[in-house]
Structure 1
């Protein structure tokens, strides 16, 4: 895979889906293939009938497309309840806020909605506050003492003061967000893309600032795009050709251009800290087949009707990132460079294991190459470990109502291997969905683009079964198959909550499995 990534960005679509996707298809054939299309501003419009052919499969979106969230209350109904969810094939809602790490290494930070400057009022589906931008800053900087910046920042509003120090002295007016300016100053995007104003504006590049002023900082380019298919023929589509910032030579990042200006943001922004409040006493759960909970209560607006609750996931508080203060470290079996191994909480059997990336990646399908390589090494080690007791591993992942990649490994006796595929297929049919076999040597990232909910299982003989989740899905499906009377005969252990141990018992069990696994440990 080449380091160069070809990315398209566009402004407010406002329901003009046919014009957008027809244009993208033409450009992709002529100048592609492009890796992403990123959209800012108002994606949906008053009428969204043009999206129906793409939803029902009559038309195809040629480039994987990622959008951010609503900017008004009226738009909320058009978005999925789950962050990182697919609206239709090749169209994914990124979520309210976060950092998307592509498999190529691109870092795309995003924040949905418009600014709510009152930090004491909870943000909702169509606005953000200072806690939201602080959380994004923390996600981007976590574990990176030599943080360079991100590749792209997506925000619908413009940052406040962005036209400062532009020698062209633009005269147009715009609604700028001081919180977006604060975020941009801290995470240093190479490209910052915004919409909403129906203005095409490309600011000359500016050099980011360091608090102490003695480090080499990258340059940023701000690009605002107009509405799709606007009658004034203002530019609404832009192409980028990017090498991920962490794979770019420092001397290239430091190289200056003749039109470069000083930063439009005051240095004081770097010295201001927005506190990111956390919930005390939250009942968190660790290392199991995790169900994502919507902790937001239904609330009534001024007219008295109820808003639809929207699940919120804050990557800064991820329970499975090893650096999190909330992680259950007493369950950890092994720690590598990119991967760690832990006992599943409430496991089917004593050595039911989870293979997890150390830093935040949402699913197997988007793991960077170095992480995926170490994941394979741990799978081989686990296979050898189970083989020492005449057992074989079943690896499965449910990328649905989860937040952090969790590849589960459950051992079954080798004599059960011939019945595994039939058991998975029978239970899927009884739940009215189909498991498809993936071709040998196929790549999951090609079949399940980022944001695609899916269930994936790898059988001991190397067969890979896959289901693309479109609506609901039985949360305990993988456990239920393996706990059936045909395999482990443990029907009373389908639900992890029925299998919990207290912390002292978990600690002793982890110590036992750690000692048994040590001779196979890739990190030893």
Structure 2
């Protein structure tokens, strides 16, 4: 079984079972097979006659489907009394709350119903309270001393304040749950899916809080989905392709994206310590009080909402590529200029596969200040001269997607391979279902890629520049895969840098050798 799991998630079905399962069947045939479908929001509707053919076997649900529980008293009757069971073939009610571990290792946490307005009291059939979310938190963390997070969190209500710090400044209103926000902050879902609001909203990913201030935390993505078959044609179905969090490299989980923000939830949510006492005052003290008069960092505006906190300056000490950071692999550094430094790529395609990076934090080539861009060009010229001494030419490329610090990669190819480069990149892009556009001569990246724009950019030895504006997903190893192909370097087994890593001693010796070879071309010497 592949580590990758293909998952579909959808918003409120509201009894539109025929539309849902017909659409799923088509998508599964075209893009599947999918491992399962997860539904949030109101699954049942005023009339549920369309489910009968699936119950009596006349129709078949093509993808195993899992739903969470009722959100209103009227919907309780549609759910079995048993907490988690099959409703009909391939349709399963997960239960009131819990953690579902798929056979592949995918962790799916879920909470059914809506927040009990009297949250310290016992939950009704369609309510949850503090005890419920704390129980889920404890299940997720049990036996996990190095807990990373869960893959998916399902909740029908949205978490309160999830739109905070969204630079897009969404203006819609929604009913958020404080308890769901508390749960999300603690179990750190890679994807948090909610419904009920009939709104399609994809929040920019946010980095979870580090409880001790220095640990590496994963990023979360919140997705609110509309109802099935809504007349406004708002998005109600979403596809995920996930490797379970516990089988994913920590360095991959830690990679940032250009649109990443801080967590919308206050750090104080993590300071909670659960008490098993039933006393109301003790049970409420560790939940963030959204109406606290002592919270001086937040203030209400005229509409009753809250002003956003100012975004703090980027902490260079925690960036893996800022030269001042303790995280940077200094043993791989070849040369250091005033604004730019040169280093060997970890797991390089070839021994002298370089990274040209700004010394301080800048997210991409397209937004470099003039003085940094000028020194970057000087290093590019030096690298080209160094490669030319062995009849090779440089291919420079940048992937400004799922990265946080500008990294211009430089890979040498023999000059005889130069004529095949453009066609190879174009063929590989077509096979990956996207298009590389050739930029006009003397085009500046900042003209077409303003701050925050994800893109892939490659500069060929001929001076030709190819560019793709990334709008959805993008193959992370694309640049390496094209260059590693049999037409260029003929080393397809090295397309993934993880397969090419050396131990630190070997890296140190290699860097020492390349440093000596590069010395006569070093613009910083």
Which range, TM-score by smaller chain? 0.5 to 0.7
- What is the distance in 2 between the residues matched to 1:179 and 1:265? 12
- What is the distance in 2 between the residues matched to 1:275 and 1:42? 32
Q: What SS does the aligned partner of 1:99 have? A: strand
Q: What SS does the aligned partner of 1:27 have? A: helix
- What is the distance in 1 between the residues matched to 2:93 and 2:221? 24
Q: Which residue of 1 aligns with 2:239?
A: 239
Q: What SS does the aligned partner of 1:37 have? A: strand
Q: Deviations over 1:421-446 (max 9, x none)?
A: xxxxxxxxxxxxxxxxxxxxxxxxxx
Q: Which residue of 2 aligns with 1:141?
A: 141
Q: What SS does the aligned partner of 1:98 have? A: strand
Whether the 8 Å contact between 2:119 and 2:128 is mirrored in structure 1 is: no
- Superposed, 1:436-451 pairs within 5 Å as none
Q: What SS does the aligned partner of 1:28 have? A: helix
- What is the distance in 2 between the residues matched to 1:173 and 1:20? 27
Q: Which residue of 2 aligns with 1:161?
A: 161
Instruction: Supply the RMSD in Å over aligned alpha carbons.
Output: 1.3
- Superposed, 1:325-474 pairs within 5 Å as none
Gaps of 5+ in 1: 279-524
Question: Post-superposition shift, 1:275?
Answer: 3.2
Matched, 1:98 2:98: yes
- What is the distance in 1 between the residues matched to 2:130 and 2:158? 16
Whether the 8 Å contact between 2:84 and 2:96 is mirrored in structure 1 is: no
Q: Which residue of 2 aligns with 1:193?
A: 193
- Superposed, 1:31-180 pairs within 5 Å as 31-180=31-180
Question: Post-superposition shift, 1:277?
Answer: 5.6
Q: Which residue of 2 aligns with 1:11?
A: 11
- What is the distance in 1 between the residues matched to 2:276 and 2:129? 10
Whether the 8 Å contact between 2:159 and 2:177 is mirrored in structure 1 is: yes
Question: Post-superposition shift, 1:121?
Answer: 1.5
Q: What SS does the aligned partner of 1:77 have? A: helix
Gaps of 5+ in 2: 279-525
Residues matched between the structures, number: 279
- What is the distance in 2 between the residues matched to 1:117 and 1:273? 21
TM-score between the two structures when normalised by the length of structure 1: 0.53
- What is the distance in 2 between the residues matched to 1:117 and 1:129? 8
Q: What SS does the aligned partner of 1:23 have? A: helix
Q: What SS does the aligned partner of 2:270 have? A: helix
Whether the 8 Å contact between 1:13 and 1:227 is mirrored in structure 2 is: yes
Per the alignment, do residues 93 and 24 of structure 1 end up closer, same or farther by CA in structure 2, a change over 3 Å counting?
same
Question: Post-superposition shift, 1:124?
Answer: 1.8
Question: Post-superposition shift, 1:120?
Answer: 3.5
- What is the distance in 1 between the residues matched to 2:235 and 2:30? 19
- What is the distance in 2 between the residues matched to 1:154 and 1:112? 8
Whether the 8 Å contact between 1:131 and 1:274 is mirrored in structure 2 is: no
- What is the distance in 2 between the residues matched to 1:76 and 1:117? 18
- What is the distance in 2 between the residues matched to 1:273 and 1:211? 13
Q: What SS does the aligned partner of 1:21 have? A: helix
Question: Post-superposition shift, 1:117?
Answer: 4.2
Whether the 8 Å contact between 2:41 and 2:156 is mirrored in structure 1 is: yes
TM-score between the two structures when normalised by the length of structure 2: 0.52
Whether the 8 Å contact between 1:11 and 1:194 is mirrored in structure 2 is: yes
Whether the 8 Å contact between 2:120 and 2:130 is mirrored in structure 1 is: no
Q: What SS does the aligned partner of 1:193 have? A: strand
Q: Deviations over 1:247-304 (max 9, x none)?
A: 00000000010000000000000002343569xxxxxxxxxxxxxxxxxxxxxxxxxx
- What is the distance in 2 between the residues matched to 1:50 and 1:120? 38
Q: Deviations over 1:375-424 (max 9, x none)?
A: xxxxxxxxxxxxxxxxxxxxxxxxxxxxxxxxxxxxxxxxxxxxxxxxxx
Q: Which residue of 2 aligns with 1:340?
A: none
Q: Which residue of 2 aligns with 1:395?
A: none
- What is the distance in 2 between the residues matched to 1:120 and 1:180? 15
- What is the distance in 2 between the residues matched to 1:275 and 1:187? 18
Question: Post-superposition shift, 1:118?
Answer: 2.7
- What is the distance in 2 between the residues matched to 1:255 and 1:249? 10
Whether the 8 Å contact between 1:131 and 1:277 is mirrored in structure 2 is: no
Q: What SS does the aligned partner of 2:192 have? A: strand
Matched, 1:267 2:264: no
Per the alignment, do residues 117 and 277 of structure 1 end up closer, same or farther by CA in structure 2, a change over 3 Å counting?
farther
- What is the distance in 1 between the residues matched to 2:138 and 2:22? 38
Whether the 8 Å contact between 1:130 and 1:274 is mirrored in structure 2 is: no
Question: Post-superposition shift, 1:81?
Answer: 1.1
- What is the distance in 2 between the residues matched to 1:36 and 1:119? 32
Q: Which residue of 1 aligns with 2:212?
A: 212
Question: Post-superposition shift, 1:80?
Answer: 0.9
- What is the distance in 2 between the residues matched to 1:277 and 1:253? 37
- What is the distance in 2 between the residues matched to 1:67 and 1:25? 17
Q: What SS does the aligned partner of 1:199 have? A: coil
- What is the distance in 2 between the residues matched to 1:79 and 1:34? 25
- Superposed, 1:486-505 pairs within 5 Å as none
Q: What SS does the aligned partner of 2:38 have? A: strand
- What is the distance in 2 between the residues matched to 1:115 and 1:2? 37
Structure having the higher Rg = 2
Q: Which residue of 1 aligns with 2:489?
A: none
